[in-house]
A and B are shown apart, each in its own frame.
Chain A
Amino acid sequence: MPDAVYVLARRILLDALQALGDQRDALVLVGAQAIYLHTGDGDLAVAPYTTDGDIALDPSELSDAPKLEEAMRAAGFVLDLQQPGVWLASEGVTIDLLVPEAVGGAGRRGARLGEHGNRAARKARGLEATLVDNEPMEITALAADDERLCQIAVAGPAALLVAKLHKLGEREEASGRSDDKDALDVLRLLRASPTQTLAGRLSMLRDNPRSGAVTVEAMDYLRALFAEPTAPGSQMAARAATPLEDADVVAASSAALATDLLNTGEVRQPQAR
């Protein structure tokens, strides 16, 4: 029986997916819930997952109706007054609607979504790859009395890795313990797929005009943050896993898998332009 907080998080996610049902083609599940769908519990003793749900939007696939804001409000979500794209549900769980920076239009934080306004979703760099690398999966509720089942595109491990590395790389200087969890997610993603599979997907993402630039940047972040056990990312992952896991093992594992990936022919090869 999963933890009550996971049951709640999944319920709220399904609420949001239901609310946005008619815009389904524009949605890609990203973030911790997507990572969990790929990695399962893994065998790290540290619980994966956060309660929040992150959904990426592809503006080119959005229909004019229903309006995002109206649909979310109708389902009981309340837009955060300070931050665009942050939707509050009951019990403190939030749903983030995100738009990759490259397709989010002008503006600093809110994505410019035409008919849908500037506040329904927030821009985020690094998510571009999730619009390219994703596949449909069925998501079910975790509670026995909730029979909902929803099909949605879920970002693939390579795209999720690119997104996580951007999140870490852009905040490296202000790294606090809350980001350590993201570093541990990088290890989860590196563990979840064979190195060659991941390298093949990354090479595909690099060659795609929509995701090429962020993928190249992400590999630079991977090199800077994880290439050594003592590098900042490896150490953040180690901190996040302590005391349930051995810090040295987590740091060494992160570095070993990151180095393997960076050394594959697909990733090493300079981008063909």
Chain B
Amino acid sequence: MAAFEDALRLRLPESWTLATERESRMPPGRPAALVRLRSPEGVESLLVVVAKSLVEPRGVRAILDQLGRWSEGQPVVVAPFLSPRAREELVDAGAGYADATGNLRLALEKPALFLETTGAAANPWPEQRPLRSLKGPTAARVIRGLCDFRPPYGIREVAERTGASLASVSRVVELADHEALLSREARGPIAIVDWEKLIRRWANDYSFTESNQTATFLEPRGFQALMDKLGSSDWTYAVTGSLTASQVAPIAAPRLATVYVEDLRAAADALELREASTGANVLLVEPLDSVAFERTWEAGGITLAALSQVAADLLTSPGRGSAEADQLLKWMRGNEDAWRA
């Protein structure tokens, strides 16, 4: 707020005056301040200023609607950072804006005034936005790391080992900490990860069939024929789902082979699979993040996805998937040494 006043003062001719009434006990949605601008001719304009920590482009209308109900003045939105899209929305809605990176715009008719300066186009403090969902690729990468590697470790080490950015690791860890899925020593490293709860929490947001790109196919000669072809292939893949879970935890005969591949079409061609909508026994999957191909293991010459990945995939698969996931997670509890590094 103070920065906004300073910026205005700096850019206005000296003959203009500026008076601020700060509203100290305003409920949310009300303006943070009313700024009276007076030109040398004595023409006055009222700026209704609202301060936000984050402005989403699609949230602009709601912010201005709230302001409009409150006052007749010229609305101005200030925030630490306003994205180009958010600024566009503000201009379209006739609002002024200012952010701490130097983006500023104010257009008034009476007194006539037009100010526009450009600051940063990208948010210099991206991690300020708290993580709300574990849906995305980075969350997958970090969660897989937190499950697959045994603590203790710090944020930096997790970032190095998973290849995710410090900021991403920090946001996922913050969420997991907040939801009691891991525990940290005071200002120190992560001491314990409750990997099972973390996988189950991940499965609330992640969905095997929706988060990834999938297509169904038929291998008319059955799974053994598919495995023979995978075993002799020289490209990247990882078998997930029931076929992998059944390697360690007994389940009913798998009915669907689910295989991570880098390119759906190329893999379907290489494996000579037929397109199938009904009567499919193979699901090829382009993963939302290449972490699906990391920390794989082998059985009978076939590359299998890491069990932490398989568990999340089964938990969010239709049919018997979640029952199979329970069996797998039970095995993983009893055999942590076998899959956690």
Which residue numbers of A lie inside 8 Å of B, CB to CB?
42-45, 190-191, 229, 244-246, 248-254, 256-257, 260
Contacts and interface: CB of A to CB of B under 8 A. Distances in A.
B222 A44 contact: yes
A191 B278 contact: no
A135 to B, nearest CB: 22
A252 B278 contact: yes
B253 A248 contact: no
Interface in B140-168: none
Contacts of A250: 279
B222 A248 contact: no
B279 A248 contact: yes
Given A42-B222, A43-B222, A191-B225, A253 B279 contact: yes
Nearest to A244: B253
B218 A252 contact: yes
Contact of A45 (B218, B225, B253): B253
Given A45-B253, A256-B274, A249 B218 contact: yes
B220 A191 contact: yes
Contact of A257 (B221, B223, B276, B280): B221
B317 to A, nearest CB: 15
A260 B272 CA distance: 13
Contacts of B274: 256
Nearest to B223: A43
A256 B222 contact: no
B221 A191 contact: yes
Most B-side CB within 10 Å, residue of A43, A229, A244: A43
Nearest to B225: A191
A45 B253 CA distance: 7
A250 B218 CA distance: 10
Contacts of B253: 45, 244-245
A246 B281 contact: yes
Contact of A249 (B224, B225, B280): B280
Interface string B274-308: 10101111000000000000000000000000000
Among all A-B residue pairs, the 7 with the closest Cβ atoms = A252-B279, A248-B279, A253-B220, A256-B220, A45-B253, A43-B224, A249-B281
Interface string B220-235: 1111110000000000
A252 B255 contact: no
A39 to B, nearest CB: 11
B218 A245 contact: no
Nearest to B281: A249
B257 to A, nearest CB: 11
Most B-side CB within 10 Å, residue of A45, A249, A253: A249
A160 B218 CA distance: 25
Contacts of A42: 222, 224
26 contacts: A42-B222, A43-B223, A43-B224, A45-B253, A190-B220, A191-B220, A244-B253, A245-B253, A245-B255, A246-B255, A246-B279, A246-B281, A248-B278, A249-B281, A252-B220, A252-B276, A252-B278, A252-B279, A252-B280, A253-B218, A253-B219, A253-B220, A253-B281, A254-B220, A256-B220, A256-B274
A229 B220 CA distance: 12
Contacts of A260: 220
Nearest to A238: B279
Given A245-B253, A252-B279, A254-B220, 9 more contacts: A42-B222, A43-B222, A45-B253, A191-B222, A249-B218, A249-B255, A252-B218, A253-B279, A257-B220
B78 to A, nearest CB: 60
Contacts of A254: 220
Nearest to B280: A249
Nearest to B219: A253
B268 to A, nearest CB: 14
Contacts of B218: 249, 252-253, 256
A252 B218 CA distance: 8
Contacts of A248: 278-280
B15 to A, nearest CB: 82
A248 B221 CA distance: 14
Contacts of A249: 218, 255, 279-281
B275 to A, nearest CB: 11
Contacts of B223: 43
A250 B220 CA distance: 8
A260 B274 CA distance: 12
